[in-house]
Amino acid sequence: MTAQTSMLHIRVDEDTKEQAAEALNSMGLSVSDAVRLFLRRVVIEQAFPIELKVPNAETVAAMKESRKMMAKRNARFNSATELFADLEKNSSR
């Protein structure tokens, strides 16, 4: 006997939706499949199936540092000389 289904509507920004759909597609899943799996885990475990933690001060500082490093990594250089000078300046050697 087939279970009766109902529609679930959620709002998410377009960029997140597209990136999630692409990642899930590579796993052979649709966004709907992923939401169904998530909700089944909630039912089975009677808990939120993803561990959520509030980061401590040290972790927050590391996250901020990482974001700054990532932003700098995406910097554009006008020449290879500028790129190599920046690499030399920031190398740990």
Three-state SS letters, the chain: CCCCCCCCCCCCCHHHHHHHHHHHHHCCCCHHHHHHHHHHHHHHHCCCCCCCCCCCHHHHHHHHHHHHHHHHHCCCCCCHHHHHHHHHHHCCC
pLDDT tens for each residue of 44-64:
999 999 888 888 999 999 989
pLDDT at position 71: 79
Q: What is the value of pTM for the model shown?
A: 0.53
pLDDT tens for each residue of 13-27:
999 999 999 999 999
**Residue 10: CA count within 13 A, CB half-sphere:** 10
CB atoms within 10 A of CB 42: 13
